[in-house]
């Protein structure tokens, strides 16, 4: 499970970087950032639930 969350975090981070590099893709930065935060929160909550 942790591997899937890490993979998704890398994917969302890549979307943010592409959105920052390519002009006019500010919406991609916003979507990538929101998905990154949501995935990180989900992973953090699942990790704490095991303890």
Percent residues over pLDDT 70 in the chain: 94
For tokens 């990790």, the residue is 47
Residue 51 pLDDT more than 60? no
Estimate to the nearest angstrom the gap between the alpha carbon of 47 and the chain centroid: 16
- Domain range holding 25? 2-50
CB 39 within 8 A of CB 8: yes
| pLDDT value of residue 25 | 85
If one counts the domains in the chain, the total is 1
Average pLDDT over every residue of 23-34:
87
Q: Output Rg (C-alpha) for the chain, integer angstroms.
A: 13
Question: Residue 28 has which token pair?
Answer: 């991609």
pLDDT above 60: residue 49:
yes
Whose tokens are 């990538």? That residue is 32
Percentage of residues of the chain with pLDDT beyond 90: 31
């Amino acid at each position: 499970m942790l591997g899937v969350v890490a993979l998704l975090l890398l994917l969302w981070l890549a979307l943010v970087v592409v959105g920052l590099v390519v002009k006019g893709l500010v919406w991609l930065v916003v979507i990538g950032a929101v998905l990154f935060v949501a995935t990180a929160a989900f992973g953090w909550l699942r990790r704490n639930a095991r303890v």
